[in-house]
Amino acid sequence: MRLVKLGAATLNQTPLDWEGNAGRALAAISEARSAGVQVLCLPELAVTGYGCEDAFHGVGHSDRAMRHLVEIAGEVGDMVVVIGVPVRLQSGLYNCAAYLQRGRVQGFVAKQNLAGDGVHYEPRWFRPWPAGQVRDIQAGGFDVPIGDVLFECGDVRIGSEICEDAWVPERPGARLARAGCDIVAGPSASHFSLLKAPARERVVVEGSRAFGCAYLFANALGNESGRMIFDGQRLIVAAGDVKARGDLFPFAEWSLETAVVDLDLLRMKRDRTMSLRPDDSDMCIVELDSELAESDETPSPTTSALPAWASGVHVREEEFARSVSLGLFDYLRKSRNRGFVVSLSGGADSAATAVLAALSFRFAVRELGIEEVRRRLPNAAIDEASFCGGLLDTVYQASANSGDVTRDAARTVGAGLGARHSEWDIDGMVQGYRALVEKTLDRAMTWEDDDLALQNIQARVRSPGAWMLANVRGALLLCTSNRSEAAVGYATMDGDTSGSIAPIAGIDKNYLRAWLRWAMETGPEGIGPLPFLAPVCEQAPTAELRPRDRRQTDEDDLMPYDLLDAIERLAIRDRMEPPEVMRALSPQWAERVGGMETLRTYVRRFFSLWSRNQWKRERYAPSFHLDDENLDPKTWCRFPILSGGFAEELGEIGK
């Protein structure tokens, strides 16, 4: 047996936090050294943070990254450490995996396939490295190789696939396998999307099996820069067998997984692979100055263990709760704020937003303990007796059109979360603005002639007070709009869209309602059910902006939410034109909504409202990317602010 101990660690980094990023990397390296790890993989671009955006263009930025990399290397002994860093050559900037050992940088593997889809814009900053090419570069006073490199540490060969490299048809790992690579280190910054983790694991497991190697996968963690969330997935896999698997969404600043692997067994399995044609003639093989010592521990068994929440029937609900909670917790501490403010209407959207804010504290305390949470949030006055830790203010703002059902629901949710709950009467301000405009118009405003304006003023009047409270508290005002509303502009700009961040703008209304019911009846593993959500779950969604005798509901204003979501998926995710959407939806939906003419009306309404309201989506507060149906125009779904509004296409579906 040839036993080596391997490690994969995630780091919760922040762009441009040079000392903090280096400190977390060194802490993970120190823990790995104490555990006897011989090869350690850290995430992609961990020295700088993945989300530096156009700061990557600065020459000073890449120079500073190299200085910090050399400092980190100075703390590394015989262990081989692989960590992501940008590296500048005269030909451009490259996304690299740096190999550190014996106190210095030994070389760089450069990423060959850049992520340029969806939320990723790597081709804007980096250049892809050509397969088979190697150059020399200075690092810490030494000439070292950069490019398509394989490192040899005694009798062990180590190479890398960097994130997107592992997702393309012709993976670099295949060439590494032909050159007899024993260990593939996979630094990654793969964004979170609901139910994506199993797909990533399949990529790693299949690569390990096909290449006959040990594969170390280390993903980025947390809310690095505002929008993307990383789940911190860590995997150690040997010839297709999972030896170590870390929990997703840890709140710790770094998390390490280790496993002992028998390289002789891997090589035997690789030798039995008849389709593998050995050939290292086109690989640059760099010898490191030392061998990997033999581990005196026993080989790690294959594991199938998953956290209880990740192996149940409500994985999507758990992932939604944990991802948004981690995203909010990181946003709060990295923006150096003291808490959250939510304008709590008593409806589903604001209730879900408030619950997620409270869960960010509960999950953090459950994992880290109250003292560590206090250290992470030094500006916050934490009340550990309350469910939300005293970090949440909720405000119910009533106009003349508000009813007892929503008032009582808001009060119940606020009390259940342990929030500082207030009730404000805003009707005097609403009537004051109405009187000012009526004076200018020289006429009385009526619901028959001025419906939209009279609705919107109520939502807008709610914004200044909520902002004022957030300013006084030093808190983040959370926007409560969801994706379904964003798609059709069913939101008041500078009203319910007000906020520093929009945590639920990436998820549809129908799912939010189902998630709230799950939270009420079951709740996240380790937290349990939240029965105080019952008054919210029992209501039909309503903006509650028209007089009560008009019995306003969202679905009467728009269409059934499940139909709205179905049209959105076809029109926006799948890029279908109106005639194609009609063909895809009928006859099933026509029967459900009462006929083809009604369905045609709803399809026309969706496309018209979508086109008319792009300007609103451009102005939304930053939102979290949660699935591949995102509407955020800054990171995922671009559409012109001014357009023809699908007039020709809608004409083809009839009047």
pLDDT of residue 545: 67
How would you classify the pairing of strands 80-89 and 229-231?
Answer: unpaired
Domain boundaries, the chain: 3-306, 312-558, 559-655
pLDDT at 552 (0 to 100): 73
pLDDT in tens, 105-148: 999 999 999 999 889 999 999 999 999 999 999 999 999 999 99
Q: What amino acid is encoded at 421 in this protein?
A: H
CATH hierarchy code of domain 3-306 = 3.60.110.10
Tokens of 220: 């980025």
Say what the pLDDT of residue 284 is.
86
CATH superfamily of 312-558: HUPs (3.40.50.620)
The answer, as to whether pTM is greater than 0.85, is: yes
**First-to-last C-alpha distance (Å) of the chain:** 76
Strand order in the sheet with 80-89: 134-139, 142-147, 104-110, 92-101, 80-89, 39-41, 3-11, 254-262
* Ordered strands of the 156-160 beta sheet: 241-245, 234-238, 214-219, 183-188, 156-160, 149-153, 284-287
Fold equal for 312-558 and 559-655? no
Tokens describing residue 229: 């969330």
CATH class in words for 559-655: mainly alpha
Within its chain, how far is the Cα of 165 from the centroid? 20
Is residue 495 within 8 A of residue 463, CB to CB? The reply is yes
| Structure tokens belonging to residue 265 | 């067994």
**Pick from 202, 483, 539: which is nearest to 320 by CA?**
483
Question: What local confidence, expressed as pLDDT, does residue 280 receive?
Answer: 72
Given a cut of 70, the residues of the chain with pLDDT beneath it are: 274-276, 543-546, 548, 550, 655
Name the token pair of 39.
């090869």
Q: Which residues pair with 236 in a beta bridge?
A: 216, 244
Q: What is the pLDDT of residues 528-542, one digit of tens each?
A: 999 999 999 998 777
